[in-house]
Chains A and B, each alone.
Chain A
Amino acid sequence: MSLRRFFSRQPGNDSQAHDEIEQAVLDEGIAVDPLMKTLGDDYYLAGQWTLMWRKFKRHRIARVSILVLGAFYFIAIFANFFSVQGLRSYDSRFTNAPPTRIRIIHHEDGLRLPFVYGLTFERDPETMRRRYVADESVAYRVRLFTRGEPYRFWGLFETDIRFYGVDDPGRIFLLGTDSMGRDLFSRMVHGARISLSIGMVGVIISLVVGTIMGAISGYFGGTVDTIIQRIIEVLRSFPEIPLWMGLSAALPPNMPIVQTYFLITIILSFIGWTGLARVVRGKFISMREEDYIMAAKVSGASDARVIRKHMIPGFMSYLLVEVTLAVPRMILAETSLSFLGLGLRSPATSWGVLLQEAQSIQAISLYPWLLVPVIPVIVTVLAFNFAGDGLRDAADPYHEG
């Protein structure tokens, strides 16, 4: 069996494979690497992505991060199911209520399944502010997959099944409420949709523009390269945050949410693509000299085909790393802009919009739970960074792991 025939086979771990490769090696007169026997055939026959995946799986923190991100995106996709309130719902009887305590010990019955007490408030005689107290005369069981406020599931059908809730008239505010009596946890779950997707959309725009520009720049070189490099240099000379502030200050405040959302992503990609373009260009320049590219050209492949079939697969893994590390930067940027009131505005809800309420020291000292949206921001950014780190190690063929 010749080498060519052997390698065109589907890689498998059958016992025959080993004999075959030895035979093939003998046929072609190549010395057998002793390592080859110890590592096993499937290692040598595995594709680039399989190898990467194997290395990645060994990076424990990165694996956990991927799971966390998966859970976050899952919750964001089914936001209505995981929240107790819709985006526009509010309950003016319970404004600025603190997080509801879930209890398992009832003051009379002792140990019980998780439940919450009723919620009433009294006026503080000095400050006239509301003070919420637990009404121990009533207890509501915390139920999973229970009926709650009706909503349309992805706009497809009407349902009222929610992940958790308590029976009416009980209320459960896992993280308290804001000044309009909106449940903060529900808002955070809804906000995850915008916060988590804006990074993705922004990165996709940057990726498309960056790859095209970087590829053109690196493949053709010469004047085109110089022009694109100068453009990148000019854009990178801007201090990022003041530039973003300047551009988003130009967004009219009364614009529809969807339009604002897309304009924000475009603003964030305004500089974002330059970084990706640089990576792509660098890779192109180093690959241009490789023998296999030369071979493809000599065989008469067109420029587009060389780029598509031979070059892009060659640096896909590096691009994946760059993208993974670019997403958290965009998420942070959106959070900052919205926090300043320059990005998305209420009724659009993102984690940055939620943090707007926590802007004044008075607000956070009275209602510290308003700071909670900080946590998903940090967790998401950390997870993306760890995942990116794991990918980088996995993508590096020289990194033992």
Chain B
Amino acid sequence: MLQFMVKRILMMIPIVLLISIIVFWIIQLPPGDYVTTYAASLRAMGEDVDAAEMARMREAMGLSQPFHIQYWNWITAIVLRGDFGFSFEWGSRVTVVIASRLPATLALSFTTLLFTYLVAIPIGIYSATHQYSLGDYVATFFGFMGVATPNFLLALVLLYVAFNYFGVNLSGLFSREFIDAPWSLARVWDMMKHLPIPIFVIGTAGTAGMIRVMRSQMLDEIRKQYVVTARSKGVEERRLTFKYPVRAALNPIVSTIGWALTGIFSGSTITAIVLNLQTQGPVTYRALRNQDMYLAGGFLLILSVLTVIGTLVSDILLAWLDPRIRYERKGS
């Protein structure tokens, strides 16, 4: 097991390196650079920017160097000094911007995951033990609807309903006075009050998918002979369900926690933009649009690394829960 883990972790290194190259390539992709965008915005305000000035700015920002040198400087600064570069738009270090957004992003993602499990698992169990009942049909219907409705559309509809019928504006993750305040107990409490709507919106799709997985897993398990045996021995139905098939059915769900989490990371991006949450979504979006390349790159890289770690956790959990995977890998 230890050997398997070490091997998997070592395999991560080249993958992360390749990812960092692709990330850097993506943030370099747009024609022009930040100086072009900046000059355009200055011109829009009526100021004049000449070519020499722009060249000087490029030189100062290190934007005139060839791709591989820029990449090398970028990645070595990250690895050696934990320095993600400078955000042109925010006028501060990228690490500062990331630090201001990452805690809320992680808090939102984890609570959403918790919500997903708490809702999906009981419904999945109920659906399977009451197959073809009214409740099962309702759950299946909502499951399909949840998968089909893009999160951001759900967010829009909720915003509309809340605004029009209840007169409240749901957007944001903090009240106005807490948006730029430093982290404190009061700020955390304020965030907790704003969390339910985003959790609900981001969690629906995942919940819907998980209900279906849990249901089919349970259906597979409760038809197995050990359940029949237990029942014929007179074990009470409720105890029987929770003691055996539920545990077995939970395996694939628990072990895919890493994938679920990264799905939430990815999926919450657009919702966060629509709901104007103070998470990474809107910042990444703006950075990408305004070619604030180091900020965009920083977030893309962190999200990708988190995805890799999520997959790793899932792989290890799978191997831990299911020895067959471990031996198969060893054999090949």
B259-283 interface code vs A (CB 8 A; 1 in, 0 out): 0001001110110011000000000
Contact A247 B31 (CB under 8 A): no
Instruction: Select one of A234, A243, A361, A386 contacting B144, CB under 8 A.
Output: A386
Say yes or no for A240: interface residue by CB 8 A criterion. Answer: yes
Contact B284 A245 (CB under 8 A): yes
A333 to B172, CA, bound (A): 24
Q: Is the interface of A mostly helix, strand, loop or mixed?
A: helix
B132-161 interface code vs A (CB 8 A; 1 in, 0 out): 000000000000110111101100110110
A157 to B149, CA, bound (A): 39
Contact A249 B289 (CB under 8 A): yes
Residues A242 and B300 in contact in the complex (CB < 8 Å), given A332-B150, A340-B285, A361-B169:
yes
Say yes or no for A381: interface residue by CB 8 A criterion. Answer: yes
Instruction: Select one of A230, A233, A236, A247 contacting B29, CB under 8 A.
Output: A247
Residues A247 and B152 in contact in the complex (CB < 8 Å), given A238-B307, A241-B266, A241-B270:
no
Say yes or no for A21: interface residue by CB 8 A criterion. Answer: no
Residues of A close to B169: CB separation below 8 A: 361
Residues of A close to B18: CB separation below 8 A: 234
Query: What is the interface size of chain B, counting residues whose CB is below 8 A from a CB of the partner?
Result: 48
Contact B157 A374 (CB under 8 A): yes
Contact B156 A239 (CB under 8 A): no
A342 to B30, CA, bound (A): 12
Stretch at the interface among B19-27, B71-79, B187-195, B222-230: B19-27
Contact B284 A242 (CB under 8 A): yes
Say yes or no for B240: interface residue by CB 8 A criterion. Answer: no
Residue of A nearest to B153 (CB): A374
For the complex formed, measure the closest distance between the CB of B302 and the CB atoms of chain A, giving whole angstroms: 10
Contact B304 A238 (CB under 8 A): yes
Contact A250 B160 (CB under 8 A): no
Residues of B close to A234: CB separation below 8 A: 15, 18-19, 22
Residues of B close to A240: CB separation below 8 A: 266
A208 to B152, CA, bound (A): 31
Residue of B nearest to A61 (CB): B144
Contact B304 A237 (CB under 8 A): yes
Say yes or no for B90: interface residue by CB 8 A criterion. Answer: no
A269 to B303, CA, bound (A): 20
Name B9-41 residues within 8 Å CB distance of A.
14-15, 18-19, 22-23, 26-27, 29-31
Residue of B nearest to A231 (CB): B18
Contact B29 A358 (CB under 8 A): no
Contact B269 A245 (CB under 8 A): yes
Say yes or no for B112: interface residue by CB 8 A criterion. Answer: no
Residue of B nearest to A234 (CB): B18
A348-388 interface code vs B (CB 8 A; 1 in, 0 out): 00000001001101001100100100100110011001100
Residues A247 and B26 in contact in the complex (CB < 8 Å), given A238-B307, A241-B267, A242-B300:
yes
The 5 A-B residue pairs with the shortest CB-CB distance in the complex, in nearest-first order: A250-B29, A239-B266, A249-B288, A381-B148, A382-B148
Residues in chain A within 8 A of chain B (CB atoms): 230, 233-234, 236-243, 245-247, 249-250, 252, 328, 332, 335-336, 339-340, 342, 355, 358-359, 361, 364-365, 368, 371, 374, 377-378, 381-382, 385-386
- 13 inter-chain pairs at a CB distance below 8 angstroms, sorted by A residue, are A230-B14, A234-B22, A239-B306, A239-B307, A246-B26, A247-B26, A250-B31, A252-B31, A335-B150, A336-B270, A340-B270, A358-B156, A359-B156
